[in-house]
Chains A and B, each alone.
Chain A
């Protein structure tokens, strides 16, 4: 009897610590944040002392030019970065999907940028972008060109941040697409080769469509992460010059620590979260729709034959 009891309790015992930690340190804070976004709250107050202001934080933010600007910068950054990385990563994977010696060494070297702390990545690039001792301007000068104001001019700063992110994260997409390529059914490729498809045709009509499910998930993961980038930009430009590189995460942390407006920062966090939720669901819905369509087509094809 006792043993039966123990057995029934086991799964709960095994789950309990994880559930407890996640409830206390993940779900509770998120709920707390939603509540805090309706308050006028600064860090020296306890939350109970803060004044309830309803939707004022949210409406205030919508009318705040700086917030709108940084919302726009965030979306621009994510869109530019992710599309560049997808093109480069998938392109490299298609190019390097060959039977060559040392592929595993290559892959190891490529994941290095992702493993290193974002703070350190920012540090390295800040040094390379340095106006006088950085390698880029040194090379430009020795070739007789004008030095470029990498981090001190608005549009150059945005480009610099994008370059650093592309350097760090293209390997992620490369490795995922390479894994997808290498798990494709060999028979499909062989059939295409026998039918005389050129290399280009194989890529467009066979490889890319077959990789599509993986590519969509990769895109989604990368997109989510692109909205989380913070440390690299913090070290490189700290959002400046002006607001040219101030993405939302950075603005949240500055609103909380410099302007000491916790309620407003929480409302901002909620906007960011809502944006991410919408994106994720849109992607899922699209994925499901595509799957349903291919299933229907396949069924129709089978019925005909």
Chain B
């Protein structure tokens, strides 16, 4: 990269770039600054940039994890802390399960020539078409009356795994196709069975694909609201559900709610900065490669 030369552009072009960046990031920065303000500062008419940052809102939201006594909290509302734990468990477990079984399925589809790539991408597209709202009624009915797993984390995890599988299978397929089959044949010569060949030879080679798939799955499970809202009970609520519950109230405590929103936004933001290339690969693989 360092040897690459860059073209010189005129200043107006850079001004446009700056404007675009401000537009893209501005609302997020505003959420961050609001979450660091006291309500007095949020409501005051004075300039919104000069204020004393405080972490009080975060203390209020995360009060059950505090190891010290915060003087401004009279009553600790544990809803959010519990939801955060639920969200973490649900997102992580469903990501792991989706990756493991999605990976195996993708491998079988590629190596054993079950269906063509066209069939799989067509069915992925078909599954992508189904809005979560469409799944709402049947999933609620089945989970409540037949499986009786409503209100449990396992129930929510099951929906998320199913929702993410088509996309994961499809994206991993495009990576597995690129693994030369000779490598596996060599492993077989050396006495490795199909399972061993898969786990020790193929998996390490498709790490970038796994990363992309993992981020997308985690993101869906972490951000999803509608189905979690229908399935969760008091003890298995996820963060998006608690956020929506607290804004339907008449009086919104903007400082605290922005702090919870920020906490919900932090993992995806971290992923974006760490693995933007994988994310872009995952996004473009669909359209550009076909």
Contacts and interface: CB of A to CB of B under 8 A. Distances in A.
Interface of A: 6-7, 10-12, 14-15, 17-19, 21-22, 24-26, 28-30, 32-33, 36, 41, 43, 46-47, 92, 95-96, 98-101, 104, 106-113, 115-121, 123-128, 133, 135, 138, 167, 171-172, 175-176, 179-180, 183, 213-214, 217-218, 221, 224, 227-228, 230-231, 234-235, 238, 248-250, 252-253, 256-257, 262, 265-266, 269, 272-273, 276-277, 280
Question: What is the size category of the interface that chain B forms with chain A?
Answer: 35 or more
A21 B101 contact: yes
B253 to A, nearest CB: 12
Contacts of B132: 228, 230, 249
B230 interface: yes
Given A112-B269, A116-B269, A276 B135 contact: no
B165 interface: yes
A107 B133 contact: no
Given A24-B162, A29-B138, A120-B261, A98 B104 contact: no
B134 A112 contact: no
Interface in B142-171: 142, 144-145, 158-159, 161-163, 165-166, 169
Contacts of A106: 17, 20-21
Contacts of B28: 112-113, 116, 124
Interface in B73-121: 100-102, 104-105, 107-109, 111-112, 114
Contacts of A127: 30-31, 34, 254, 258
A301 B191 CA distance: 55
A1 to B, nearest CB: 15
Contacts of A7: 194
A213 B130 CA distance: 23
Given A25-B162, A33-B138, A108 B133 contact: no
Contacts of A28: 138, 142
A167 B225 contact: no
A95 B16 CA distance: 10
Given A36-B138, A138-B48, A167-B27, A117 B265 contact: yes
Interface of B: 4-7, 9, 13, 16-17, 20-21, 23-25, 27-28, 30-31, 34, 42-43, 48, 100-102, 104-105, 107-109, 111-112, 114, 125-142, 144-145, 158-159, 161-163, 165-166, 169, 193-195, 198, 219, 222-223, 225-226, 230, 240, 243-244, 247-248, 254, 257-258, 261, 264-265, 268-269, 271-273, 276-277, 279-280, 283-284, 286-288, 290
A120 B264 contact: yes
Contact of A17 (B48, B101, B135, B194): B101
A171 B24 contact: yes
A116 B142 contact: no
A183 B138 contact: no
A31 to B, nearest CB: 8
Given A18-B102, A22-B166, A46-B145, 17 more contacts: A6-B193, A14-B105, A17-B105, A22-B165, A26-B163, A41-B141, A43-B144, A47-B145, A98-B9, A104-B276, A118-B223, A125-B27, A128-B27, A176-B288, A231-B226, A248-B133, A249-B226
Given A22-B162, A172-B283, A256-B137, A15 B104 contact: yes
A201 B142 CA distance: 57
Contacts of A115: 219, 268-269, 271-272, 279
A123 B242 CA distance: 13
B139 A234 contact: no
B7 A14 contact: no
Nearest to A45: B145
Contact of B137 (A21, A33, A116): A33
Contacts of B268: 115-117
Contacts of A6: 193-194
B140 A256 contact: yes
Nearest to B194: A10
Given A116-B268, A120-B265, A179-B288, A107 B225 contact: no
Contacts of B265: 116-117, 120
A118 B225 contact: yes
